[in-house]
């Protein structure tokens, strides 16, 4: 990508907020997930990274986490597969010695300008990766999480404003808001918090892999700040929600989106 995303948290100032915590980050090989994994490591957490098959990207995340003196475990596989999600979470918990934090971040998008162009196969794949995986991974992780632990989900500004060319993607992101609010209520008595982050346009590998050159060249310019965000600017929201700084927050969504006003 030109320019390269800022996703290595080089300027981030840590404060030991996640010391001795153990985190699982899905989609942690690049972009927002990579920045979150590194931010967690800078705050003192060991990290397991689940991803599909971007092995070089994942290896770079691992090197950057380990450069902070923390452990990093790589767990490649298809998160739309229920059986893999269960085995992956179990492996992460076993290798890290437990789990305290889960970040559900994996997602795909396939732009289409007309509903009739969205095939049943595309619809099923988008929901399987973006929504079903969140159910599968969370269900498996709850076997290991306890009072005081935290789950952070990635939704999107499109969940609130919609998207005429990402209809199925925006629908999954709206479903994630409902999942977050519902599970926050469900888990409140157990003392496990679930919140979400709804980024606006962010410069990640998902963008040039999804859109044509014309769209990529204008990406993010419609945001009030006039540019796309960088993963490093989004990751601190996840650090906050995963930490004790957010101990009185559950069922909430943070909106690092470049200035778009969200009313819901």
Active site residues: 169
CA dist., res. 206 & res. 176, Å (int): 19
Give the C-alpha separation, 128 to 133, whole Å: 6
Residue 86 burial by Cβ neighbours in a 10 Å radius (0-12, 13-18, 19+): middle
DSSP states of 180-217 as a string? HHHHHHHHGGGT-EEEEE---SB-STHHHHHS-HHHHH
Tokens encoding 77: 């596989």
Q: Are 26 and 141 in contact (CB under 8 A)?
A: no
Token pair, residue 164, equals 């005429």
Task: Kindly give, in sequence order, each residue whose CB lies less than 8 Å from that of residue 240, ignoring residues fewer than 6 positions away.
Answer: 246, 254
CA distance 240 to 122: 34
Tell me which residue has tokens 């559900």: 104
User: With left for phi above 0 and alpha for psi between -120 and 50, is residue 158 left, alpha or beta?
Assistant: alpha
Q: Kindly report the backbone phi and psi dihedral angles of residue 188, in degrees, each rounded to the nearest multiple of 5, phi listed first.
A: -55, -45
Q: How far is it, in rounded angstroms, from Cα 23 to Cα 7?
A: 18
């Amino acid at each position: 990508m030109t320019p390269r995303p800022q996703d290595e948290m080089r300027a981030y100032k840590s404060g030991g907020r996640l010391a001795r915590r153990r985190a699982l980050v899905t989609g942690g090989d690049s972009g927002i997930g990579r920045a979150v994994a590194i931010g967690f490591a800078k705050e003192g957490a060991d990290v397991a990274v689940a991803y599909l098959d971007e092995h070089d990207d994942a290896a770079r995340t691992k090197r950057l986490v380990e450069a902070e003196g923390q452990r990093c475990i790589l767990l490649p596989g298809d998160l739309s597969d229920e059986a893999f999600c269960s085995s992956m979470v179990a492996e992460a918990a076993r290798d890290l010695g437990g789990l305290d934090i889960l970040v559900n971040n994996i997602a795909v998008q396939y732009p289409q300008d007309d509903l009739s162009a969205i095939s049943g196969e595309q619809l099923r794949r988008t929901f399987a990766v973006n929504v079903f995986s969140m159910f599968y991974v969370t269900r498996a992780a709850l076997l290991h999480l306890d009072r005081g632990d935290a789950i952070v989900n990635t939704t999107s500004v499109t969940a609130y404003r919609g998207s005429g060319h990402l209809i199925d993607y925006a629908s999954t992101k709206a479903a994630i808001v409902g999942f977050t609010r519902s599970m926050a209520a469900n888990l409140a008595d157990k003392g496990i918090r679930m919140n979400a982050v709804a980024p606006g346009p962010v410069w990640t590998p998902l963008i040039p892999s999804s859109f044509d050159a014309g769209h990529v060249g204008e990406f993010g310019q419609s945001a009030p700040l006039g540019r796309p965000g960088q993963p490093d600017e989004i990751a601190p929201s996840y650090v906050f929600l995963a930490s004790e700084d957010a101990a009185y927050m559950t069922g909430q969504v943070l909106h690092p989106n470049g200035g778009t006003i969200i009313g819901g």
